Structure 1
Amino acid sequence: MQPMPDYNLSVSEQLKSLTASGALQLDSAQMHVAKCLDRVLAQLKQKRPAAKGSALGWLFAAKKKPSDRVKGLYIHGSVGRGKTMLMDMFFTMAPCARKRRAHFHEFMTDVHNRIAAHRLKLKNGETKQSDPIPVVAAALFNEAELLCFDEFSVTDIADAMILSRLFADLFRRGCILVATSNVEPGNLYRDGLNRSLFLPFLDLLHEYVDIASLESPTDYRMEKVDSLPVYLTPRDERTDMAMDALWTQALHGRRAQSLEIAMKGRVIHVPLAVDRIARFSFVDLCEKPLGAADYLAICARFDAVFLDHVPLLGPDKRNQTKRFIILIDTLYDHAVRLYVSAAEMPENLLTQARGTEGFEFDRTVSRLFEMRSAEYLALHQERRAAE
């Protein structure tokens, strides 16, 4: 669990305080990034509140001098180095009435939903604005002038094709972006289809956001692992029996049955569920054409998920690998308790590192280990109790 920040301190002062108390270890790489966040925090404190946007607001915001802008921060580095902890400290301290913190996949799902809603209005004659991007950008900016994204990554062509236009509009309005990522900006959407259409977004990113690297020698997530028996391997009859035993224990004598979750004219089939516990196979969640929105719906419905038969992920399973990465990101971000049976330990599941997916899967491995820890399971209990 992350320590609670002192709202009167800067991020670096908070980090020093937590180090002095013994809650955290001294880490010079984290301190460097904390001071970068201090710069953004100081500029926000000096800045007058940004006006809410309108569909044409960017025309006026574009006249703002570069020296008047608050430049955001893009923090990249290996998994488990403390990027999210530092960003969350910053987010809590940021003196913005309108601010939003989200996992990047969750944010983009929201964006696509808003675009679809606008197109429906256009079809029904409820609006004459044919381009949804300015309308969506205005609505997003009205809700939040500060956007903080955890795990910024681009693997979906639908996301890649709209990011440049969307953020050009948001940045012109005065939006400030702070994000964490496992990859440096130049490796975003690497080897992606039609990547040339994505490159203008990288130019925007460098114009409106500073870049900070967090390369600490320690993976703090791995230090938390207590190896609780929630990740079972190899894929054999004995592992299946162990998963069945865990499932029976979770049922407490209740009878599980199948159900369906409605999703915009379609349904997500849940093979076995009781109350807020569900059981799926890898085929159910990663072989079928599901995405972040579907996984978010599962997180909203269930507190614990059993996932059977995760296979080795070779070059022939590229789409399944992408879905698995997004699934684990979403379950982790919503503190869902996860039980897994798999062909191999997390670090051996991906048989060949492939471009951006290799970077992304490093995060998946780290999260699968952390989701076995007593600390993560305690966080699961805390978050669910607060809902």
Structure 2
Amino acid sequence: MPASNVAASISATLHQRFAAQLAERGLIADPAQQAAFTRLAEWLQRQLGVRRGWLRRHSGGVYLWGGVGRGKSLLLDCFFAAAPLEAKRRVHFHAFLQDVQQRLLRFVGQPDPLALVARELAGEVRLLCFDEFHVHDIGDAILLGRLLQYLLHEQVGVVLTSNYPPAGLCPNPLYHERFQPFIHLLQQRLTVLELDGGRDYRPLSERDWGRYCWPTPAADTHLAEALGLTPDGAGQLLAVNRLRLQPLARSQDTLWLTFAALFEVPSATADYLWLCQHFACLAISAIPPLDQRSLDVQQRFLNFVDIAYDSGVQLLLGSAVSLDQLCVARAQTDFARTRSRLAQLRQISLAEHCDYRSVVR
């Protein structure tokens, strides 16, 4: 097939699948979303349009950023599904970071193990789609920055979505300067697109992935009835990596913990990934106003919500306050994304004289 026909076929397929996915959800793309998707299709055309393979002159990829709920993940879903490549992978931040760290263990003692990990990944994928790219921990930032450098050298095409422009990554002023070389790499090697303006579409989503109920202690009663469990806190400790957690209650596929038991201890993303892999339903009660807790505790909670959301578990939360009051001051940088995701939980007010079965949308 002539190169121009191949390119046209790729573009047509991408746009047809995008339209189909939107129609399934009853959505219509706004002008900014349509323009961003067209730019993604154009990039893939350039990559695959001359022959059915990767171009020798490698164009690194696309960095798509914008506010929460603007449809970046939907655009990436459609793009990834339509991309005519078998060697492709769509990843989320925390799970991918965990995978890289596990791969590094296989190359301990060898020169530049991260380069070996990148070469191994390049042998598996030619297109890596990375959703919700964000870095706050300087160790994670340097690791991912160097890995992206190696992947681009290995001619792996990357498409990243983020709530931040490249210059806004790793915003902590104590560490931002150390991450600057990798910001320059993203700006120089990737096409940076802003999905600007528009509304947050997540509150309009029909996804129902759990409940957010308040206030305590009525929320605990509601969780017990919803879970069919009786909290006693006297059961066997649960070993999660290096943590020892005391559940309020548990069954084969359900785990109920307090906020303090999971987040006011040095827990990590590896622990949250483990929990989401081993339980279909997770309940967290006694969630306080987050701005009354340290930024480290806030970040643990935000990381947990990200991982739970991406993993598909059912999440039941019981809080002392409504979602609007959860964090009104001194919020972590990523709280807007977390707030948007929590808004997709069913909001259940259990205030005095209020029927707990009433659902607030």
Common fold: TM-score over 0.5: yes
Aligned to 1:135: 116
Q: State the AA in 2 paired with 1:365.
A: R
CA deviation after TM superposition for structure 1 residue 321, in Å: 0.9
The equivalent position to 1:307 in structure 2, one of 276, 281, 284, is 284
RMSD: 2.8
Separation in structure 2 between the aligned mates of residue 22 and residue 244 of structure 1, nearest angstrom: 33
Q: 1:168 aligns with which of 134, 145, 149?
A: 149
The answer to whether the 8 Å contact 1:280/1:308 transfers is yes
Query: Residues 130 and 268 (structure 1 numbering): CA distance in 2 closer, same or farther, change over 3 Å?
Result: farther
Paired letter, 1:336: V
Aligned match of 2:353 = none
Report how far residue 135 of structure 1 moved: 1.2
Partner of 2:5: none
Q: Which has the higher helix share?
A: 1
- Aligned counterparts of 2:162 and 2:307: Cα–Cα separation in 1: 15
Aligned in 2, Cα 1:109/1:18: closer, same or farther, shift over 3 Å? closer
Q: Give the Cα separation in 1 of the matches to 2:23 and 2:221.
A: 47
- The answer as to 2:76 corresponding to 1:87 is yes
Aligned match of 2:86: 97
Distance verdict in 2 for CA 1:362–1:148, change over 3 Å:
same
Distance 1:22 1:113 in 2: 37
Secondary structure, aligned partner of 1:198? helix
Shift of 1:45: 2.3
Name 1:49's counterpart in structure 2: 53
Residue 346 of structure 1 and its aligned partner are, at CA, apart by 2.7
Cα distance in 2 for partners of 1:199, 1:130 equals 25
Unaligned runs of 5+ in 2: 1-8, 348-361
Q: After TM superposition, give the deviation of residue 214 of structure 1 in Å.
A: 1.5
With over 3 angstroms needed to count, the CA separation of the structure-2 counterparts of 1:11 and 1:268, relative to structure 1, is farther
Q: Is the 8 A contact 1:30 1:216 kept in 2?
A: no
Matched residue, 2:202? 221
Aligned counterparts, 1:101-250, within 5 A: 101-119=90-108, 122=109, 129-224=110-205, 230-234=211-215, 236-248=216-228
* Maintained 8 Å contact 2:288/2:326: yes
1:330 maps to 307
* Aligned-partner Cα distance in 2 for 1:50–1:7: 14
2:227 counterpart SS class: helix
> 1:33 pairs with 10, 25, 36, which one?
36
SS in 2 for 1:370: coil
Hey, what does 1:61 align to over in structure 2? Answer: none
Corresponding residue number in structure 2 for 1:57: none
Q: 1:346 to 1:143 in 2, by over 3 A?
A: farther
Instruction: Please report the TM-score for the alignment, with normalisation by the length of structure 1.
Output: 0.78
Moved more, 144-153 or 159-168: 159-168
Cα distance in 2 for residues equivalent to 1:202 and 1:344: 38
2:319 to 328, 342, 345: 342
What is the CA–CA distance in structure 1 between the aligned matches of 2:23 and 2:270, rounded to whole Å? 42
| Aligned counterparts of 1:288 and 1:219: Cα–Cα separation in 2 | 33
C-alpha displacement of 1:329: 0.5
Secondary structure of the residue aligned to 2:26 is coil
Amino acid in structure 1 at the alignment position of 2:238:
E
The 1:32/1:246 distance shift into structure 2, 3 A limit, reads same
CA distance in 1, matches of 2:115, 2:209: 48
CA change 1:200–1:161 in 2 (3 A) is same
Task: Name the SS of the counterpart of 1:200 in structure 2.
Answer: helix
Q: Structure 2-normalised TM-score?
A: 0.84
Q: Which residue of 2 aligns with 1:365?
A: 339
Q: Secondary structure at the match of 1:152?
A: coil
2:93–2:134 CA contact under 8 A, matched in 1: yes
> What do the CA deviations read for 1:295-339 (whole angstroms, capped 9, x no partner)?
111111011111111111227510011111110010000111011
Flag the 1:229–1:340 CA change in 2: closer, same or farther, 3 A: same
Secondary structure of 1:351's counterpart equals coil
Unaligned runs of 5+ in 1: 1-5, 52-63, 123-128, 374-387
On the 8 A contact 1:332/1:371 being kept in 2, the answer is no
Aligned residue runs from structure 1 range 6-25, under 5 A: 9-16=12-19, 23-25=26-28
Aligned AA (1:308)? S
CA contact (8 A) 1:138 1:170 kept: yes
Cα pair 1:337 1:371 within 8 Å, conserved: no
TM-superposed CA distance for 1:193, in Å, is 3.4
| 2-structure distance, mates of 1:135, 1:228 | 38
Deviations 1:111-149 (A, max 9, x none): 122223422xx2xxxxxx232111111112112221111
**% same residue:** 32
